[in-house]
Amino acid sequence: MRPVERGAAPKAYKDYNLALNDLYERIGRGCSYCERKYSGAVEHMLPKGRHTGLATTWSNFLLACANCNSIKNKQQNAGVAGNAGAALGQYLWPDTDNTALAFDYSRGAIGVSAAVPAALVNVAQATMVMTGFHRLPHTGNPPKSRKDLRWKERNEAWDLAERKALQLASRPSPELRETIAELAAATGFWSVWRTVFAADADMLGRLNREFKGTAPTCFDPTTFQAVQRQGGQL
Protein backbone atom coordinates (compact mmCIF):
# COMPACT_ATOMS: atom_id res chain seq x y z
CA MET A 1 0.00 0.00 0.00
CA ARG A 2 1.64 3.19 -1.20
CA PRO A 3 2.00 6.01 1.34
CA VAL A 4 0.69 9.26 -0.10
CA GLU A 5 0.66 12.95 0.70
CA ARG A 6 -2.47 14.68 -0.52
CA GLY A 7 -1.48 18.12 0.81
CA ALA A 8 -3.77 20.90 1.97
CA ALA A 9 -7.33 21.15 0.70
CA PRO A 10 -7.33 22.83 -2.73
CA LYS A 11 -10.75 24.29 -1.97
CA ALA A 12 -13.92 23.70 0.02
CA TYR A 13 -16.37 21.18 -1.48
CA LYS A 14 -20.13 21.30 -1.32
CA ASP A 15 -20.28 17.78 -2.74
CA TYR A 16 -17.49 15.27 -2.17
CA ASN A 17 -17.73 14.01 -5.76
CA LEU A 18 -16.31 17.36 -6.86
CA ALA A 19 -12.99 16.45 -5.20
CA LEU A 20 -12.31 13.54 -7.59
CA ASN A 21 -10.19 15.44 -10.08
CA ASP A 22 -8.21 17.20 -7.35
CA LEU A 23 -7.45 13.80 -5.80
CA TYR A 24 -6.26 12.49 -9.17
CA GLU A 25 -3.97 15.50 -9.44
CA ARG A 26 -2.54 15.07 -5.95
CA ILE A 27 -2.27 11.28 -5.43
CA GLY A 28 -2.76 9.88 -8.91
CA ARG A 29 -5.61 7.92 -10.43
CA GLY A 30 -5.82 4.54 -8.73
CA CYS A 31 -7.13 2.76 -5.70
CA SER A 32 -5.48 3.90 -2.46
CA TYR A 33 -5.83 0.39 -1.00
CA CYS A 34 -5.32 -2.32 -3.63
CA GLU A 35 -3.32 0.03 -5.91
CA ARG A 36 -5.01 -1.00 -9.13
CA LYS A 37 -5.21 1.69 -11.78
CA TYR A 38 -8.85 2.56 -11.62
CA SER A 39 -11.11 5.50 -12.21
CA GLY A 40 -12.49 5.02 -8.75
CA ALA A 41 -14.60 7.18 -6.58
CA VAL A 42 -13.88 9.56 -3.74
CA GLU A 43 -13.41 7.37 -0.70
CA HIS A 44 -14.16 8.42 2.85
CA MET A 45 -11.66 6.96 5.28
CA LEU A 46 -14.16 7.40 8.09
CA PRO A 47 -17.51 6.51 6.50
CA LYS A 48 -19.66 9.50 5.67
CA GLY A 49 -22.77 7.74 6.97
CA ARG A 50 -21.35 7.53 10.48
CA HIS A 51 -19.30 10.71 10.37
CA THR A 52 -21.53 13.15 8.52
CA GLY A 53 -19.30 16.08 9.48
CA LEU A 54 -16.50 14.50 7.44
CA ALA A 55 -18.52 13.92 4.25
CA THR A 56 -16.87 16.85 2.42
CA THR A 57 -13.62 17.06 4.40
CA TRP A 58 -10.50 16.82 2.20
CA SER A 59 -8.41 15.15 4.91
CA ASN A 60 -10.94 12.30 5.04
CA PHE A 61 -10.65 11.57 1.30
CA LEU A 62 -8.76 8.88 -0.54
CA LEU A 63 -9.60 6.98 -3.76
CA ALA A 64 -11.10 3.51 -3.81
CA CYS A 65 -12.05 0.99 -6.46
CA ALA A 66 -15.47 -0.68 -6.45
CA ASN A 67 -14.20 -3.88 -4.79
CA CYS A 68 -12.27 -2.17 -1.98
CA ASN A 69 -15.12 0.27 -1.42
CA SER A 70 -17.77 -2.44 -1.25
CA ILE A 71 -15.82 -4.66 1.18
CA LYS A 72 -14.90 -1.68 3.36
CA ASN A 73 -18.54 -0.58 3.51
CA LYS A 74 -19.63 -4.03 4.61
CA GLN A 75 -16.92 -4.11 7.28
CA GLN A 76 -17.82 -0.69 8.57
CA ASN A 77 -21.56 -1.31 8.63
CA ALA A 78 -21.32 -4.77 10.10
CA GLY A 79 -22.36 -3.82 13.60
CA VAL A 80 -23.09 -1.03 15.95
CA ALA A 81 -21.00 1.91 17.14
CA GLY A 82 -17.57 0.76 18.17
CA ASN A 83 -17.35 -1.68 15.29
CA ALA A 84 -14.62 -1.77 12.67
CA GLY A 85 -14.18 1.63 11.11
CA ALA A 86 -15.28 3.58 14.14
CA ALA A 87 -11.82 5.01 14.74
CA LEU A 88 -8.86 5.83 12.51
CA GLY A 89 -6.39 4.21 14.94
CA GLN A 90 -7.88 0.77 14.29
CA TYR A 91 -6.20 0.74 10.90
CA LEU A 92 -3.11 1.95 9.09
CA TRP A 93 -3.75 4.63 6.48
CA PRO A 94 -1.77 5.57 3.39
CA ASP A 95 -2.02 9.30 4.17
CA THR A 96 -0.79 9.17 7.77
CA ASP A 97 1.28 5.99 8.19
CA ASN A 98 4.15 4.65 6.18
CA THR A 99 2.13 1.82 4.71
CA ALA A 100 5.19 0.79 2.66
CA LEU A 101 6.51 -0.71 5.92
CA ALA A 102 3.31 -2.58 6.69
CA PHE A 103 3.00 -5.32 4.10
CA ASP A 104 5.18 -7.74 2.16
CA TYR A 105 4.15 -8.48 -1.39
CA SER A 106 4.93 -11.64 -3.28
CA ARG A 107 3.15 -13.50 -6.03
CA GLY A 108 1.95 -16.07 -3.54
CA ALA A 109 0.57 -13.72 -0.91
CA ILE A 110 0.36 -10.32 0.66
CA GLY A 111 1.04 -10.40 4.37
CA VAL A 112 1.94 -8.26 7.33
CA SER A 113 5.63 -7.43 7.15
CA ALA A 114 8.06 -8.77 9.73
CA ALA A 115 9.13 -5.12 10.16
CA VAL A 116 5.80 -4.24 11.79
CA PRO A 117 6.21 -3.93 15.59
CA ALA A 118 4.31 -6.53 17.59
CA ALA A 119 1.95 -3.89 18.98
CA LEU A 120 0.78 -3.01 15.46
CA VAL A 121 0.46 -6.46 13.90
CA ASN A 122 -3.26 -6.64 14.64
CA VAL A 123 -3.77 -3.12 13.24
CA ALA A 124 -1.92 -4.06 10.04
CA GLN A 125 -3.93 -7.28 9.78
CA ALA A 126 -7.18 -5.34 10.25
CA THR A 127 -6.08 -2.99 7.46
CA MET A 128 -5.81 -5.90 5.03
CA VAL A 129 -9.16 -7.31 6.09
CA MET A 130 -10.81 -3.86 5.83
CA THR A 131 -10.71 -3.95 2.01
CA GLY A 132 -9.51 -7.53 1.40
CA PHE A 133 -6.90 -6.28 -1.04
CA HIS A 134 -4.80 -9.36 -0.25
CA ARG A 135 -7.44 -11.81 -1.49
CA LEU A 136 -5.93 -14.33 -3.89
CA PRO A 137 -7.30 -17.64 -5.24
CA HIS A 138 -5.86 -20.87 -3.80
CA THR A 139 -4.75 -19.20 -0.57
CA GLY A 140 -6.28 -18.81 2.86
CA ASN A 141 -7.82 -15.53 1.67
CA PRO A 142 -9.56 -16.24 -1.63
CA PRO A 143 -11.76 -13.63 -3.36
CA LYS A 144 -15.38 -13.99 -2.30
CA SER A 145 -16.82 -12.74 -5.56
CA ARG A 146 -16.13 -13.56 -9.18
CA LYS A 147 -16.17 -9.84 -9.78
CA ASP A 148 -13.16 -9.38 -7.54
CA LEU A 149 -10.31 -9.46 -10.04
CA ARG A 150 -7.88 -7.26 -8.15
CA TRP A 151 -5.53 -10.23 -7.80
CA LYS A 152 -5.56 -10.80 -11.55
CA GLU A 153 -4.64 -7.23 -12.36
CA ARG A 154 -1.92 -7.42 -9.73
CA ASN A 155 -0.55 -10.60 -11.29
CA GLU A 156 -0.48 -8.88 -14.68
CA ALA A 157 1.57 -6.11 -13.09
CA TRP A 158 3.96 -8.74 -11.69
CA ASP A 159 4.39 -10.26 -15.16
CA LEU A 160 5.08 -6.89 -16.72
CA ALA A 161 7.44 -5.71 -13.99
CA GLU A 162 9.47 -8.91 -14.13
CA ARG A 163 9.73 -8.75 -17.93
CA LYS A 164 10.92 -5.14 -17.69
CA ALA A 165 13.47 -6.01 -15.00
CA LEU A 166 14.97 -8.64 -17.32
CA GLN A 167 15.01 -6.17 -20.18
CA LEU A 168 16.76 -3.58 -18.06
CA ALA A 169 19.36 -6.12 -16.95
CA SER A 170 20.14 -7.03 -20.56
CA ARG A 171 20.38 -3.49 -21.94
CA PRO A 172 20.58 -0.95 -19.13
CA SER A 173 20.09 2.73 -19.94
CA PRO A 174 18.73 5.77 -18.13
CA GLU A 175 16.11 6.11 -20.88
CA LEU A 176 14.83 2.57 -20.34
CA ARG A 177 14.76 3.19 -16.60
CA GLU A 178 12.55 6.22 -17.06
CA THR A 179 10.33 4.43 -19.57
CA ILE A 180 9.83 1.58 -17.09
CA ALA A 181 8.94 4.00 -14.29
CA GLU A 182 6.42 5.72 -16.57
CA LEU A 183 4.96 2.37 -17.60
CA ALA A 184 4.69 1.38 -13.94
CA ALA A 185 2.76 4.53 -13.08
CA ALA A 186 0.43 3.90 -16.04
CA THR A 187 -0.10 0.28 -14.93
CA GLY A 188 -0.51 0.84 -11.20
CA PHE A 189 0.49 -1.46 -8.33
CA TRP A 190 3.41 0.59 -7.01
CA SER A 191 4.08 -2.06 -4.32
CA VAL A 192 4.54 -4.76 -6.97
CA TRP A 193 7.01 -2.66 -8.99
CA ARG A 194 8.79 -1.65 -5.81
CA THR A 195 9.18 -5.30 -4.80
CA VAL A 196 10.50 -6.35 -8.21
CA PHE A 197 13.03 -3.48 -8.24
CA ALA A 198 13.76 -3.67 -4.49
CA ALA A 199 17.52 -3.89 -4.94
CA ASP A 200 17.70 -0.92 -7.34
CA ALA A 201 17.66 2.39 -5.42
CA ASP A 202 17.61 4.42 -8.64
CA MET A 203 14.47 2.64 -9.82
CA LEU A 204 12.84 2.99 -6.41
CA GLY A 205 13.40 6.75 -6.60
CA ARG A 206 12.00 6.91 -10.13
CA LEU A 207 8.92 4.90 -9.13
CA ASN A 208 8.27 7.23 -6.21
CA ARG A 209 8.50 10.26 -8.51
CA GLU A 210 6.33 8.83 -11.29
CA PHE A 211 3.51 7.70 -9.00
CA LYS A 212 1.86 11.00 -8.11
CA GLY A 213 1.76 12.02 -4.50
CA THR A 214 4.03 9.30 -3.07
CA ALA A 215 4.95 10.72 0.35
CA PRO A 216 8.63 11.76 0.16
CA THR A 217 9.08 11.84 3.94
CA CYS A 218 8.39 8.10 4.09
CA PHE A 219 11.68 7.27 2.37
CA ASP A 220 15.38 7.75 2.86
CA PRO A 221 16.32 10.32 0.18
CA THR A 222 19.32 8.28 -1.05
CA THR A 223 18.40 4.62 -0.68
CA PHE A 224 14.60 5.05 -0.95
CA GLN A 225 14.17 2.48 1.78
CA ALA A 226 11.01 3.07 3.78
CA VAL A 227 11.37 4.86 7.12
CA GLN A 228 8.98 5.53 9.99
CA ARG A 229 6.51 8.30 9.12
CA GLN A 230 6.50 11.26 11.47
CA GLY A 231 3.22 11.44 13.36
CA GLY A 232 2.11 8.03 12.06
CA GLN A 233 1.59 4.75 13.87
CA LEU A 234 4.15 3.26 11.50
| Chain positions contacting Zn ion, by CB under 5 A | 31, 33-34, 65, 68
Q: Please say which residue, 111 or 132, places its beta carbon nearer to Zn ion.
A: 132
Question: Taking the complex as a whole, how short is the minimal distance between the CB of residue 223 and Zn ion, in angstroms?
Answer: 29
Element (H, E) at 25: helix 20-27
| Closest distance of CB 176 from Zn ion, Å | 29
Find the shortest distance in angstroms from Cβ 17 to Zn ion: 18
Which CB sits closer to Zn ion, 189 or 224? 189
Is the distance from CB of 208 to CB of 219 less than 8 angstroms? yes
For residue 158, give every residue at least 6 positions away whose Cβ sits within 8 Å of its Cβ, in sequence order, or none. Answer: 107, 192, 196
CA distance 93 to 109: 20
Element (H, E) at 44: strand 41-44
Which residue number, 1 or 65, has a Cβ lying nearer to Zn ion?
A: 65
Using the minimum distance from each CB to Zn ion, give the nearer residue, 102 or 203: 102
From the CB of 187, what's the least distance to Zn ion, in Å? 15
For the CB of residue 32, give the shortest distance to Zn ion in the complex, in Å.
8
Alpha-carbon distance values, 8 to 57, 170, 210 (Å): 11, 43, 21
Q: C-beta of 31: minimal distance to Zn ion in Å?
A: 3
Spatial separation of the C-alpha atoms in residues 84 and 73, rounded to whole Å:
10
Q: Which is nearer to Zn ion, 130 or 180 (CB)?
A: 130
Q: How many CA atoms lie within 13 A of 142 on its CB side?
A: 6
If the CB atoms of residues 41 and 168 are measured against Zn ion, the closer one turns out to be 41
Nearest residue to 65 via CA among 57, 73, 55:
73
